Each structure stands twice: as C-alpha cells, then as structure tokens.
C-alpha cells in the first residue's frame, strides 16, 4: 500500500511540475499597432505576432467598423511566405484569416499578414476605432495549441469635412468678410465730415479798403 501511495504521489508531483512549467511559459503576443490615418486614405495594417517559436498554423477572426473602414486586400509577408492562407471577407465588417504549413516558422515581433483598408469619407470629426478579435487559434509544428495575449491599439482617424461642407464654410467666411468691410466703410462715412472741394482751395486774399484821411485844421 505504501508503495502505491509513493507512485501516486510521484505522479502528482510530475503533473504539478508540468503544469507550473506551462503556466510559466511566456505567452505569444498578438499586436495591433497604433496608427493615424485620414479620410480617403488607403493604408497598410500589419498583424504582428511576437514570441512564437514555431508557428505552423493560425486562425484569426476579427471585426472592424465598416462604416469607417473598407477592406480592400491582404498580403503575406516574408515571414509567412511558406504558409498557405485564405482570407474570408464576404461579410462586411468581419475578416476570417487562416494560415497553415507543413513546417513551423519562428515569429518574433514580425508581421504575419498585412491588411489593406481604405478610410471612408467624409468623416467630419476625429474618431478612434479598434479591431476586435472574436476568435484566435495558434498552433505549433507539434500540433500544440499556443497560449497568447492581446495588445490592441486604436486607429486614429483625423476628422476632415467633405468638399461641399468646405465650400459652404468658405462661402460663409467670404460673406462675413464682405459684411465686415461694408460695415467699416459705412462707419467711416458717418464719422468723417463732408468736405467740399471749394473749401480745400486756397483762401482769398483780403485787400483792405483805402481809408480816407481827415484834413487837419
């Protein structure tokens, strides 16, 4: 019986040590970098992974605000050139990315895929938007599922009014300037006295009349 307890206790310690080794293992990092864009601009958005020793597969489903952004295309990077990939973009506002290969590739703070979006316009006010990850699976070349953490930063979109709005603003500004000029001109007419041209001519010389002298007696 004591021998059985010793075996059981030894197995328990082995399981406990394996569990501690797994929890102390550094997790993979999924990084969505911070970026600033403008309405009408097409930009590249990299999906960055860090601390992935041998990535043989990834499934990533994410959502974005399609009223602000429009997905246009995607490209693999040099890091994942050997992997096959599929991007499902049938549903606006959602992307499902699947990549897989026979051999794993090490990924250390590198982009595994570049997504391209176009910023919708007009966007009158500055706004921030974030991608949301709704599903992710990372697999090593030993078919082991890797633990991960998120680091998602916002996309800053600068506000920029439409051309029609800008035209209206410019027209209003010109009207206000014309009104100000007219008011200033009228004020000058009221304050300044009216001076005739004759008043500006040289004054006439006044010749004194000859005064008759009285005869002294």
Please check whether residue 83 is in contact with residue 141, taking contact to mean a CB–CB distance below 8 angstroms.
no
Of 142, 127, 146, 125, give the one whose Cα is nearest residue 51: 146
Residue 75: inside a domain: yes
Q: Where are the beta strands (DSSP E) in the chain?
A: 28-32, 35-37, 42-50, 52-63, 69-76, 84-88, 94-107, 110-119, 127-129, 132-140, 148-152, 155-157
Residue 140: inside a domain: yes
pTM for the full model?
Answer: 0.64
Please check whether residue 156 is in contact with residue 36, taking contact to mean a CB–CB distance below 8 angstroms.
yes
The CATH number that applies at residue 43 is 2.60.40.680
Q: Is the pLDDT of residue 52 over 80?
A: yes
Of 95, 38, 106, give the one whose Cα is nearest residue 72: 95
Residue 191: inside a domain: no
Residue 151: inside a domain: yes
Residue 93: inside a domain: yes
Span 144-159, pLDDT tens digits: 999 999 999 999 999 8
Q: Mean pLDDT throughout 110-115?
A: 96
Range of the domain at 126: 25-157
Q: Mean pLDDT throughout 70-82?
A: 95
Residue 187: inside a domain: no
pLDDT bucket at 11, cuts 50 / 70 / 90:
very low
Which residues, other chains included, contact 56 with Cβ-Cβ below 8 Å and sequence gap of 6+?
A: 100, 101, 102, 103, 104, 105, 139, 140, 141, 143
pLDDT bucket at 167, cuts 50 / 70 / 90:
low
User: Cα–Cα distance between 70 and 161 in angstroms, integer?
Assistant: 19
Q: How far is CA 2 from CA 8, 129, 142, in A?
A: 10, 63, 38
User: Cα–Cα distance between 200 and 64 in angstroms, integer?
Assistant: 78
How many domains, the chain?
A: 1
């Amino acid at each position: 019986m004591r021998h059985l307890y010793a075996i059981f206790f030894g197995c328990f310690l082995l399981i406990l040590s394996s569990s501690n080794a797994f929890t102390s293992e550094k997790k993979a990092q999924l990084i969505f970098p911070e970026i600033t864009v403008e309405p009408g601009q097409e930009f590249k958005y990299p999906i960055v992974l860090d601390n992935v020793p041998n990535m043989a597969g990834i499934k990533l489903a994410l959502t974005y605000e399609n009223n602000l952004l429009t997905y246009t295309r995607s490209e693999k990077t040099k890091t994942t050139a050997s992997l096959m990939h599929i991007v499902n973009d049938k549903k606006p506002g959602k992307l499902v990315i699947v990549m897989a290969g026979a051999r794993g590739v090490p990924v250390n703070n590198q982009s595994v895929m570049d997504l391209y979006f176009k910023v919708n316009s007009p966007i009158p006010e500055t706004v921030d938007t974030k991608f949301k990850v709704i599903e992710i699976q990372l697999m090593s070349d030993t078919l082991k599922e890797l633990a991960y953490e998120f680091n998602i930063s916002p996309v800053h979109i600068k506000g920029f009014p439409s051309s029609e709005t800008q035209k209206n603003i410019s027209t209003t500004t010109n009207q206000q300037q014309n009104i100000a000029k007219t008011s200033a001109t009228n004020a000058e007419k009221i304050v300044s006295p009216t001076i005739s041209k004759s008043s500006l001519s040289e004054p006439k010389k006044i010749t004194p009349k000859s005064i008759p002298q009285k005869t002294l007696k």
